[in-house]
Structures are given as structure tokens and as C-alpha cells.
């Protein structure tokens, strides 16, 4: 599976350089989703969240290319954010389902390492 991931990443980078961004994104998503292991269920909700967050990351970058280690790091951040979302929903005293759950999930904002956190509180001293 690791060899196939490298092939998808390389093909995605070639497509991104040729400005075929949709094809590049599909290759990146295929490559990185196949590398996820552990205690995360690959539900439709998770896959949709993952794809949305990955696309948000790629669109905000100066270039649309992606290395495998960078993709793995971003994947870890997205998976951790999704797990935090699940923990928050599970510990809520409210029964969050349907549209409420969808709205809450859509409001999750991941601040990737190279981005400035615009929500960060600044020191007033």
C-alpha cells in the first residue's frame, strides 16, 4: 500500500503542476485516506470531513503540490481534530444529531502549522 501511495502522490503533483487540480486532489485523497490506520472508523461522515479539510489545506497553500510526509502530517491533524469532535459530541449533555451534528462538524476549523491563527488571542501588554 505504501508504494501505491507514493505513486498517487507523484501523479497528483504532476497533475497539480499541469493545473489539473481536481485530478490532483483525488490522487492526494486516495493516497492519504488509504494510509489511515488505527481506531478511526472510515464512515461517510469522516471521509467527507477529511476531504473537506484536505481541500481547505491545499487551497490555502501557495502551491497545490504535496509530499507524502507533509500529507501524513496533515492527515494526523485532521484525524485528531475529528476525534476531538467525536469526544465533544459524546461528552455533550445534549443529544447532537442530524443537522446539528452536521453544522457543528462544518464549524471545525483546523489551523495548519504554516497558517496564522486569526482566532488566537493576542497579548495586550
What are the pLDDT digits (tens) for 18-44? 999 999 999 999 999 999 988 899 999
Domain spans in the chain, listed from the N-terminal domain onward:
2-106
8 Å CB contact between 4 and 34: yes
Say how far apart CA 78 and CA 63 lie, in whole Å.
Answer: 20
C-alpha cell at 79: 484525524
User: 98-121, pLDDT tens digit by residue?
Assistant: 898 999 999 999 988 765 545 544
C-alpha cell at 34: 488509504
8 Å CB contact between 64 and 121: no
Rounded to two decimals, the pTM is: 0.86
Amino acid at each position: 500500500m505504501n508504494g501505491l501511495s507514493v505513486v498517487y502522490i507523484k501523479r497528483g503533483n504532476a497533475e497539480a503542476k499541469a493545473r489539473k487540480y481536481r485530478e490532483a486532489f483525488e490522487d492526494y485523497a486516495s493516497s492519504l485516506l488509504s494510509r489511515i490506520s488505527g481506531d478511526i472508523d472510515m464512515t461517510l461522515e469522516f471521509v467527507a470531513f477529511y476531504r473537506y479539510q484536505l481541500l481547505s489545506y491545499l487551497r490555502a497553500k501557495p502551491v497545490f503540490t504535496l509530499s507524502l510526509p507533509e500529507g501524513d502530517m496533515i492527515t494526523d491533524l485532521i484525524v485528531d481534530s475529528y476525534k476531538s469532535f467525536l469526544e465533544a459530541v459524546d461528552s455533550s449533555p445534549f443529544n447532537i444529531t442530524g443537522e446539528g451534528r452536521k453544522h457543528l462538524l462544518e464549524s471545525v476549523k483546523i489551523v495548519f502549522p504554516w497558517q496564522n491563527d486569526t482566532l488566537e488571542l493576542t497579548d495586550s501588554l
